[in-house]
């Protein structure tokens, strides 16, 4: 039943202390119901992020975007809806990526984890990296920011959207804003906006960090 799968899905991905392996195992079974569950939970994060990215580019849509932690492609669909056409996807889950492929939203689909590993992507290949929902228990860690920056050309953007509450609830993300600030001091990027918005999913607030790569 949709409601059962939805509550189990959202609860499981948020379980405190869940490991990366457990979280990935979970997406194997949740993938088939993911879109239906998130739609019934009024998942506004992809639309809010796509709208902000369009504003950052001043309405220009002929740019290359990498959708990181793309999952089944809800974030890619939202980017396409506002007019972006050149979008690639990165996600470690075969099951999630298989569903993303069916949507014909993405050019290249890259199966990999974002972390400290070097992705099979050249420096500055993209105008923007976007990550919606990739920062949760057992998901992407704070040590991934350098790689998100590396693949974006100078002047491009790194846009990260997550549940605002995860900044406090998830111990890993206590380090997130200090790390973002350190990278700004090191001259890697500059903060353009830090936007808190309602109804990321259901009644939970979301936050979108937008940085310009230097």
- The residue ranges that bind ligand SAM (CB under 6 A) are 27, 45-46, 68-71, 74-75, 91-93, 96, 113-115, 132-134, 139-140
Quote the DSSP letter at residue 141: -
Closer residue to ligand SAM in complex, CB, 70/208:
70
What is the β-pairing status of strands 189-201 and 86-91?
A: unpaired
Q: What is the closest distance, in whole angstroms, from the C-beta atom of residue 185 to ligand SAM in the complex?
A: 25
Q: Cβ atoms within 10 A of the Cβ of 148, count?
A: 26
| Nearby residues of 123 by Cβ (< 8 Å), 6 or more positions away | 150, 151
Q: What is the closest distance, in whole angstroms, from the C-beta atom of residue 97 to ligand SAM in the complex?
A: 8
Closer residue to ligand SAM in complex, CB, 8/58:
8
- 17 backbone dihedrals φ, ψ, rounded to 5°: 80, 0
Are residues 211 and 157 in contact, defined by beta-carbon separation less than 8 angstroms?
A: yes
Closer residue to ligand SAM in complex, CB, 93/129:
93
Closer residue to ligand SAM in complex, CB, 56/114:
114
Q: What is the closest distance, in whole angstroms, from the C-beta atom of residue 10 to ligand SAM in the complex?
A: 9
């Amino acid at each position: 039943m949709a409601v059962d799968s939805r509550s189990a899905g959202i609860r499981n991905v948020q379980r405190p202390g869940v490991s990366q392996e457990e979280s990935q195992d979970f997406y194997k079974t949740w993938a088939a119901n993911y879109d239906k569950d998130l739609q019934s939970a009024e998942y506004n994060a992809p639309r809010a992020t796509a709208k902000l990215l369009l504003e950052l580019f001043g309405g220009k849509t002929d740019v290359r975007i990498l959708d990181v932690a793309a999952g089944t492609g809800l974030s890619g669909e939202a980017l396409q809806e506002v007019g972006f056409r050149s979008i690639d996807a990165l996600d470690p889950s075969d099951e999630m990526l298989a569903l993303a492929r069916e949507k014909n939203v993405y050019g290249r689909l890259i199966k990999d984890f974002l972390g400290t590993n070097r992705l099979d992507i050249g420096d500055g290949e993209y105008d923007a990296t976007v990550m919606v929902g990739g920062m949760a228990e057992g998901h992407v860690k704070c040590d991934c920011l350098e790689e998100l920056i590396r693949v974006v050309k100078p002047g491009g953007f790194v846009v990260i959207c997550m549940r605002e509450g995860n900044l406090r609830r998830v111990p890993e993300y206590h380090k997130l804003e200090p790390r973002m600030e350190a990278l700004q001091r090191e001259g890697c990027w500059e903060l353009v906006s830090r936007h808190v918005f309602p109804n990321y999913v259901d009644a939970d607030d979301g936050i979108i960090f937008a940085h310009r790569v230097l």
